[in-house]
A = this chain, B = another copy of it.
Amino acid sequence: MERIRIKDIAKMADVSVGTVDRVIHGRSGVSESSRKRVEEILKQLDYQPNMYASALASNKKYAFACLLPQHQKGEYWTEVEAGIHNAVETYSDFNVAVQLSYYDPYDYHSFAEASGQILALEPDGVMFAPTVPQYTKPFTDELTLHNIPYIYIDSNIKEEPALSFYGQNSHQSGYFAARMLMLLAGEDAQEIVIFRKINEGIVGSNQQERREIGFREYMQEHHPACRIWELDLHAKRDSEDMQMLDEFFQEHPTVKNGITFNSKAYIIGEYLLKKEKKDFNLMGYDLLQRNVDCLKQGSIFFLIAQQPTLQGFDGIKALCEHLILKKEITRENFMPIDLLTKENIEFYYNK
């Protein structure tokens, strides 16, 4: 079961390796008869080039650009970055390098500027967290014009299809969250609360919003009588949030279940710990360290993960496989909707 090489193909077609090479790469300078013969043998033997030898010989360097929202260390996007770096290391023998840049998630202009800078670099591939469709389009148009493949991460812009997308199905994840929260609520399912964050920024087409829509869809279908309260927090000034939470729980002592669709569940979780309030079931998103701490200490009951590290890794991997290994790439790649509790979180990091 020896691997077939170009040399073997050449011998069988009674031509030189150069000719086979020309056929494989679709270059000109091959007679119709030779091309036919070689192509037939290629297909018949299902020739698969050794991509490592190929990459070695072509001796190309690949520069990728990634554009993410600005963020603090320890926040969600840090995990995505970790995945990106991990992938670059994995593919380092292919001479890939990544240039990371950031945009202000509250300012469209910042996105435009950052994307302009990326275009000036003429990268071989781009991965980015898109903003809303109308502001994403100018960028993707330019990328298409320059024939630069690009990948969406976190949220998908269906109007401008990319090489591929890596992220979670937010709507379904919200739907699932409702299912689980209602399971938790049991008899207390008459009212729940959604904790929001004012000023969500322009990232994606609002993952949080879509989650909430999915959530409300489930509630409408299965618990239409359930009263859904809302509380907008700032996620900036702690004391202010604390006060708002105090007020809310005073006014609504019967609300025993709540959820937040952003990654800041720890704000409420830490509040519950501080106040030693143990009769409240909280659900949230993303495995930030502070969220995980709350989960382990019992103030968050469920966390839904969306595999940010894997998103970052797979995005870069897809660029490599597309450009270097010439593989087919799946267009839409939904991350699993993983449910974490105190009891299974331990085995979730090494994925």
Interface residues in chain A, defined as those with a beta carbon under 8 Å from any beta carbon in chain B: 1, 3, 48, 50-53, 55-56, 92-95, 97, 168-169, 172-173, 175-176, 179-180, 183-184, 186-187, 330, 333-339, 341, 343-344, 346-348, 350-351
Contact = CB atoms under 8 A, between A and B. Distances in A.
Contact of A347 (B1, B97, B187, B337): B337
Contacts of A347: 168-169, 172, 334-337
A48 B92 CA distance: 10
Contacts of A94: 52
A1 B97 contact: yes
Given A92-B3, A93-B51, A338-B336, A343 B184 contact: no
B336 A339 contact: no
Contacts of A187: 186-187
Most buried by B among A176, A186, A333: A176
Contacts of A351: 336
Nearest to A50: B93
A132 to B, nearest CB: 24
A343 B174 CA distance: 10
Most buried by B among A95, A176, A338, A344: A344
B172 A346 contact: yes
A95 B80 CA distance: 33
A221 B79 CA distance: 35
Nearest to A333: B350
Contacts of A95: 3
A149 to B, nearest CB: 20
